[in-house]
Amino acid sequence: MHLAPHTLRRIVSAATVALLATAVGCAPQPEEKSAAKPAGTAGATCAKGKLATQTSGKLTIATDEPAYEPWFKDGKPANGEGFESAVAYAVAKQLGYDKANVVWQSVPFNKAFAPGEKTFDFDVNQVSISAERKKAVDFSSGYYDVRQAVIALKNSKAAKATSIADLKGLKLGAQVGTTSLNYIDDVVKPTQEPAAYAKNDQAKSALQNGQVDAIVVDLPTAFYITAAEVTDAKIVGQFENQGGTPEQFGLVLDKGSALTSCVTTAVDALRKDGTLGSIEKQWLSDAVDAPVLK
């Protein structure tokens, strides 16, 4: 991570470890990669439909399997439905490839941004852009701004919170060293010392055991937790971004890919003309009941 019980079990397969790691902006330790290509290979062309792709005349896009809502619909990335499927096809069109010339490939979440030569042109899989991951792969500019969210058990007092003020008297928890914990300290400023956990798994257990009233995680992780792990919990709300550069998902490309600048230009164009905003509103805003906490 848009919420049926089966909604985000896709993230169970890979993001059980990797997506939760995204909240702290870290990635598996990169292995040594020989002869890494310099970013933006010289002579790259962005001529529409004529990029230096894996297969001439085709654009190969990867994502994990299974592919779950709201990122994809009915487990079929190729149908153009769901937020990330729609984004992928919009980028493809911007690059000069119609739907018939897009080829989908299954690549596990962790493998998408691990070191090593890629078999895809770009991967779309809720991967947050981070300096650590940039050591192993290239990213496009961000196509989705990630927000932090509050999770509480459905029948709890915390579940009724509608504002930041309502959270101040609660016992809150988050993973140590994360943006989530920063939001508790700097935005909520609770009257009780927040609980900091080494891992999100520990924070979730604390929530289930009643040791904390609510926990804070990034919104995609909140999708996963409430849909697939702690199904008696709900997303209470999400925070507004607090200035600076927001955490973002980016399309993943091979390190030094000749396509990086082309894909980034395409994403930037879609953001500028409002396409990304429209896709987000269609597939995320209405699909996920996550009001903004102010």
Nearest to residue 237, comparing CAs of 165, 151, 171? Answer: 151
Provide the pLDDT for residue 17. Answer: 33
Per-residue pLDDT tens digits for 151-195: 999 999 999 999 999 999 999 999 887 778 889 999 999 999 999
pTM of the full structure:
0.65
Query: What does each C-alpha distance from 232 to 1, 5, 22, 128, 229 come to in angstroms?
Result: 18, 10, 24, 27, 9
Provide the pLDDT for residue 28. Answer: 34
Query: What does each C-alpha distance from 114 to 104, 110, 144, 156, 265 come to in angstroms?
Result: 19, 6, 21, 40, 24
Per-residue pLDDT tens digits for 174-184: 988 777 888 99
In three-state secondary structure terms, 223 is helix
Angle between helices 83-95 and 260-272 (to 10 degrees): 110
Q: Residue 285 is which amino acid?
A: S
Dihedral (CA of 16, 19, 23, 26) sign = positive
Please name the residues in contact with 174: beta carbons below 8 A apart, sequence gap of 6 or more: 180, 181, 183, 184, 194, 195, 196, 197, 203, 215, 216, 217
8 A C-beta contact, residue 237 and residue 293: yes
User: What percentage of the chain exceeds 70 in pLDDT?
Assistant: 83
Provide the pLDDT for residue 130. Answer: 82
Per-residue pLDDT tens digits for 28-49: 333 333 333 434 443 458 999 9
CA 126 to chain centre: 3
List of the chain residues with pLDDT < 70: 1-44, 243-244, 286-289
Q: Token digits for 1?
A: 């991570």
Nearest to residue 154, comparing CAs of 195, 214, 202, 218? Answer: 214
Q: What is the DSSP string of 70-124?
A: TTSSTT-GGGS-SHHHHHHHHHHHHHT--GGGEEEEE--HHHHTSSS--SSSEE-
